[in-house]
Chain A
Amino acid sequence: MAGILVFVEQRDGEIRKASLQAVSEAKRHGGAGGEVTAVLVGAGIGAAAAGLGAWGAARVFVADNPALGLYSAEGYTEAVAAAAAKAQPSAIFVAGTAMGRDLAPRVAARLGVGAIADVVKLALDGDAFTARRPIYSGKAFAEATTAGKRPQVISLRPNVFAAEESGGSAAVESLDGLGLAIRAVVKELVKAAGGELDVAEADIIVSGGRGIKGPENFALIKSLADALGGAVGASRAVVDAGWIAHSHQVGQTGKVVSPSLYVACGISGAIQHLAGMSSSKIIVAINKDPDAPIFKIADYGIVGDLFEVIPPMVAAIKAL
């Protein structure tokens, strides 16, 4: 067993950024002493395969099948397991998106091994990885291994590892003869209205909490998010109050995020919220209460009324 197999995710034929990050990370580790091989799964997606060479893949397996057009845990597991049987990798990398986090454990169980989820740092010792991963939503970290088991199935947290082109080319091979038996069938992918950005993917997040006083004031939060080109997040308190959908919730019982900029507006900073966002690169807090715990982890903050602070902030950003 040698080399790293990377599952590459695409939507409508377009490779997801998080997957390019995973391929790049595999390349940075020199394929763990072997080749970096990618496996691309979907329907009508062959055109995207060759381009993966530029990001570090030496070989790309393509499972192009009408039955794999929309994600299926069973079908995609079959494809990745087939690629693993051919490549015999010592590690399998998967971007830790909703799809990747669903697929990696099923693939691992199929191969009779465990998996390390949501990794934020990888160290290679010989040809085995030790992986750093947040636990208790970032209140602590674990340096984890697969206790000697191979292949090491690892999901990488999106937006933590850099995607960088290394300028190679890849040999493309089609993966045929898959024994697909798909029972759980995705009938439809319903996209959020207006191409709304998801907090799990956003590089900038502006979140609102109790301090915004009512659901109608998420318009103010959104105005700041729009000015910054970011997504709208929320605290548990306002999600539980029904002011905004749960998909926006950041925290230990919501999404755990690490954007490059996180702006917390009217959020006091309950421990379970801090756990979900404290690994953000730059944290900004806007709150009336100078003693709010959020200020303890903020890189920048304004003690003041968010209703008076946000509108001039939006104007100042637009004037940049």
Chain B
Amino acid sequence: MNCIVCVASVPDTASVIKLKADGTGIDESGIKWIVSPYDEYALEAALQLTEAKGGEVTVVTYGPAGAEPALRDCLARGAHKAVHVLGGEKTLGDSFTIARVLAAAIKGRAHDLVLCGVKGVGTDCSQVGQMLAELLGLPHVAIVTALEVGEGSLAATREVEGGKEKVECPLPALLTCQKGLNEPRYAALKGIMAAKKKPVDKLEVSSLGIQEGADLFYAVARFELPPAKSAGTIIQGENDPAGAAAQLVKLLREEAKAI
């Protein structure tokens, strides 16, 4: 059971997002970078599968040199090897280019399963997994919250509005993993030491036949912060909660027209 896990290095979800003065992008100063939280479920699923069935976990990222700590973090948790496609500065949010780069990096490497997170936290496109599946010619199951892998096939549960879909699928396949699938492990000290010796295969994007920035499929003309909100109507309700409740319901009905 060889698994390839696609990971992204993203700003910590507790980050305050600021823009560069000219509005051309996010001001990255002071941001702490982490493995995208959903990718952790993908990695954990792959680790559990290879522990039970043998085989190797390869983590792949497409990102700048600063994404290497994210790969080392995955290696420390138990991934066997890593592939780092260097670049990505010009293609943030360009899901199709990212999928093309990942597909080129994955082709030729043995895989029974390719696992991604549901989305990269930040750009929030939630598209790379499905595009990658199409480019690799694989079936996919997205938003997976439960998984059983048998001989040559898998059964997965995926989250949809108001319910769940039970899906069966032959291998090889691609999954996008959602919170609830498992509890990701932390890296132990022993793993962190071992990770330093594990191989990271570093590739330039151009070696995959793609000239970064030459053929974009998504471009951002401008970034903006949300408009500032004016102060709301706050009712002090410690002494008369019932009165405050009645006043609030009246405001929602008559002023906000929300109920």
Q: Is A191 an interface residue (CB 8 A)?
A: yes
Among residues of A, the one whose C-beta sits closest to the C-beta of B216 is A147
A184 nearest CB across to chain B (Å): 4
Q: Which residue in B125, B133, B235 is a CB contact (below 8 Å) of A302?
A: B235
Cβ contacts under 8 Å, B248 to chain A: 284, 300, 302, 313
**A114-B95, A197-B162 known; A309+B233 contact, CB < 8 A:** no
Count of chain B residues with Cβ under 8 Å from any Cβ of A? Answer: 85
The interface residues of chain B lying within 8 Å CB-to-CB of A310 are: 245
Given known A-B contacts A102-B142, A282-B252, A282-B256, A247 and B126 have beta carbons under 8 A apart = no
Expressed in whole angstroms, the Cα–Cα distance for A192 and B236 within the complex equals: 38
Name which of A109, A137, A284 has the most chain B CB atoms within 10 A of its CB.
A109
- Interface: A145 (CB within 8 A): yes
A179 → chain B closest CB, angstroms: 14
Contact indicator B96/A300 (Cβ below 8 Å): no
B217 A114 Cβ-Cβ under 8 A: yes
A78 to chain B, nearest CB (A): 11
Please name all residues of chain A whose beta carbon is closer than 8 Å to the beta carbon of B193 when the two chains form the complex: none
List B contacts of A302 (CB < 8 A): 234-235, 237, 241, 244-245, 248
CB<8 Å pairs between A and B, sample of 10:
A118-B126, A138-B226, A139-B16, A140-B223, A146-B217, A246-B145, A253-B179, A282-B258, A300-B251, A304-B238
Q: Is the CB of B140 within 8 A of A117?
A: no
Cα A102 to Cα B126 in complex, Å, equals 8
The answer, yes or no, to whether B51 is at the interface (CB within 8 Å) is no
* Docked-complex contact A102 and B162, CB < 8 angstroms: no
Please provide the 8 A-B residue pairs with the shortest distance between their CB atoms, ordered closest to farther.
A114-B217, A304-B237, A105-B127, A114-B96, A109-B134, A308-B241, A183-B139, A184-B139
User: A222-246: which residues lie under 8 A (CB-CB) from chain B?
Assistant: 228, 245-246
> Using Cβ atoms and an 8 Å threshold, which residues of chain A touch B169?
183-185
A140 partner, pick from B26, B95, B218, B250, beta carbons under 8 A = B26
Chain B residues within CB distance 8 Å of chain A:
11, 13-17, 19, 26, 37-38, 93-97, 99, 121-131, 133-135, 139-143, 145, 159-170, 173, 178-180, 216-226, 229, 232-238, 241-242, 244-246, 248-253, 256, 258-259
Chain A residue nearest to B256 (CB atoms) is: A282
The listed residue with most B CB atoms (<10 A of its CB), out of A133, A136, A309, A313, is A136
Q: Which residue in A73, A295, A305, A312 is a CB contact (below 8 Å) of B130? A: A73
Would B252 and A113 count as touching, CB distance under 8 A?
no
Does residue A14 face the partner (Cβ distance < 8 Å to B)? Answer: no
Among candidates A133, A184, A290, residue contacting B167 with C-beta atoms closer than 8 Å = A184
Partner among B38, B162, B218, B256 whose Cβ is within 8 Å of the Cβ of A192:
B162
Given A136-B124, A200-B161, A246-B179, A113-B237 contact (CB < 8 Å): no
A256 to B118, CA, bound (A): 13
For the complex, what is the distance from the CA of A313 to the CA of B244, rounded to whole Å? 9
Neighbouring A residues of B94 by C-beta, 8 Å = 114
Determine if A49 is an interface residue (Cβ-Cβ < 8 Å).
no
Q: Which residue of B lies closest to A187 (CB)?
A: B166
Note all chain A residues with C-beta closer than 8 A to B16.
139, 271
Cα–Cα, bound, A299→B238 (Å): 19
B163 lies within 8 A of A191 (CB): yes
Residues of A within 8 A of B217 (CB): 113-114, 146-147, 149
Give chain B residues whose Cβ lies under 8 Å from the Cβ of A260. Answer: 258
Q: Which one of A77, A97, A256, A304 has the highest number of Cβ atoms from chain B below 10 Å of its Cβ?
A: A304
A98 and B159 contact, CB distance less than 8 A:
yes
Kindly identify which residue among B140, B237, B251 contacts A184, using a CB–CB cutoff of 8 Å: B140
Q: Which residues of B contact A197 (CB under 8 A)?
A: 162
Q: Are B127 and A115 in contact (CB under 8 A)?
A: yes
In angstroms, how far is the closest chain A Cβ from the Cβ of B57? 22
Residues of A within 8 A of B13 (CB): 252-253, 271-272, 275
Q: Which of B96, B178, B222 is A113 in contact with, Cβ under 8 Å?
A: B96
Instruction: Knowing that A130-B221, A300-B248 touch, tell me 14 more A-B residue pairs with CB under 8 angstroms.
Output: A102-B130, A135-B123, A135-B124, A137-B124, A140-B26, A183-B169, A184-B169, A184-B173, A186-B166, A187-B166, A192-B162, A246-B145, A252-B13, A301-B232
